[in-house]
Amino acid sequence: MTAYILRRILLMIPTLIGIMAVSFVVVQFAPGGPVERVIAQLTGTDTSARVGGGAGDFAGSPGASSGTTSGSALKYRGAQGLDPAFVAKLEKQFGFDKPPLERFLLMMKNYATFHFGDSYFRDISVLDLIAEKMPVSISLGLWMTLLSYGISIPLGIAKAVRDGSRFDIWTSVVIIIGYAVPGFLFAVLLIVLFAGGSFLDWFPLGGLVSDNWASLSWPARIADYFWHLTLPILAMSLSAFATTTLLTKNSFLEEIRKQYVTTARMKGLTERRILYGHVFRNAMLIVIAGFPGAFIAAFFSGSLLIETIFNLDGLGLLGFESVVNRDYPVVFATLYIFSLMGLVLGLISDLTYTWVDPRIDFDTREV
C-alpha cells in the first residue's frame, strides 16, 4: 500500500501541471484581460472591473500621448490616446511584460510553495481572500454532502430491499421529481415560502451567521449557524439526494441478485446479516467512489447559484467574479487548490476502499 500511495502522490505532480498548463493556454487566447479592464475603466467604456484603489494607484499618468501610439498601446482596444508609458507600466505591474512561458514557469514555481501573490483588483493577498470565503463554502459543501449521504444511503438500501413495492414506487416518484427540479429553482421556492417571500418568514436571507453572533452563547451560536444554513443546504441537496439514492439502490440490487447471496441464504443466514455483513461492503464501493467528486462540486462550482441566491459570499461566487473581472491570480490559485484537493480526495477514496473491503489490494495493480 505504501508503494501505491507514493506512486499516486508522484502522479499528482504532472497531472497538476497539465491542468494548470491547459488553463493557462486557454486564458492566453481569451479576449480581454486585466490591462484592458483597467484601460476600459479609465476611458469610461467599462465599469465592471473591480479595481481596489482606482486609477490613482497605478504608476504613471493616464494622460494623452503627445506622440505616436506605441505598439504596446495598440495591442489593447481603447488604449488610443493613453500615454504609452502608462500602458507599459500597467503591463509590468500585471506581469505581462514577460513571455507567456516565463510567466507560467514563474507561476508554477510560486504555487509549489503556495505563494499565490495578491489579487489584481482587491487590496488583499489571494490566500487571505480565499481564507475569508472558505467558511461559507466549507459549511455548504460539508453539510450538504453529509446530509445527502446520510439520508440517501439508508433510503437506497430500503428501496433495494423493498424493490417493486408501493414504498419503492412512491419514493421513486419523489426522487425523480427532486432530480428534475433545478437546485436554483428550488432555492427560489424555499425563499418564497419560508424566508419572507410571500408566505412565512422563518429563516434569514443572507450571511452565514447573525450580526450579534459573537455575543451569543455557544448553544445559541450553533443554533444560529444552522438556522442560516438550513435553506441553502436543502436547495443544494435536492439533486445530490436523488442521484445518491438511486445509485445506492441499483448497487445493492446488483449485489443482492448475485450467487453468493443465494448461497448465504441457503446456509440459513439472516437477511440482516447477509445485507450488512456481505452485500454492504461490495455495494458501497461505487457509492464511495463518487464521494470526492460530489464534495468538490458542492464545495466549489456547485454552490455558485446557491451563494448568489442566498447572498452568501463563498468561493463559488469568488471564482465567478474573478473570471468575469480577469483577476488571474485568484482564478489560477482557486483552480490549483481545488485541483490538488480533488487529487488528494481521490487518493483518500481509494484508501477508503480498503477499509470497506480489505480484499482490495492496490499494490497489485498499476496506477
For each of the domains in the chain, give its residue range(s) and CATH number, in order of start.
Answer: 32-112 (no CATH), 126-364 (1.10.3720.10)
- Residue 75's pLDDT is 60
Collapsing DSSP states into helix, strand and coil, what is residue 208? coil
Collapsing DSSP states into helix, strand and coil, what is residue 195? strand
Collapsing DSSP states into helix, strand and coil, what is residue 360? coil
- Residue 60's pLDDT is 42
Taking the C-alpha atoms of residue 122 and residue 119, their distance in angstroms, rounded to an integer, is 5
Q: In sequence order, what are the beta bridge partners of 216?
A: none
Helices (H), 162-279: 166-180, 183-194, 218-256, 259-266, 271-274
Collapsing DSSP states into helix, strand and coil, what is residue 113? coil
| Residue labelled with grid coordinates 445506492 | 248
| Residue labelled with grid coordinates 423493498 | 162
Task: Please state whether 53 falls in left (phi above 0), alpha (psi between -120 and 50) or beta.
Answer: alpha
Helices (H) and strands (E) in the chain, counts: 16, 0
10's grid cell:
508522484
Residue 268, amino acid:
G
Question: Mean pLDDT in each 10-residue stretch from start to end of the chain (367 residues)?
Answer: 83 92 86 73 58 42 42 54 70 78 91 88 87 85 84 89 90 86 85 82 83 87 90 83 85 88 86 83 75 65 75 82 85 88 80 69 58
- Cα pseudo-dihedral 289, 294, 296, 302, rounded to 10: 160
| Residue labelled with grid coordinates 458542492 | 298
- The structure's pTM equals 0.72
Collapsing DSSP states into helix, strand and coil, what is residue 163? coil
Q: In sequence order, what are the beta bridge partners of 125?
A: 118
Collapsing DSSP states into helix, strand and coil, what is residue 165? coil
For 346-352, the CB contacts below 8 A with 24+ separation are 346/292, 347/5, 347/8, 347/9, 348/292, 349/288, 349/289, 349/291, 349/292, 350/4, 350/8, 351/1, 351/5, 352/288, 352/291
Taking the C-alpha atoms of residue 83 and residue 215, their distance in angstroms, rounded to an integer, is 53
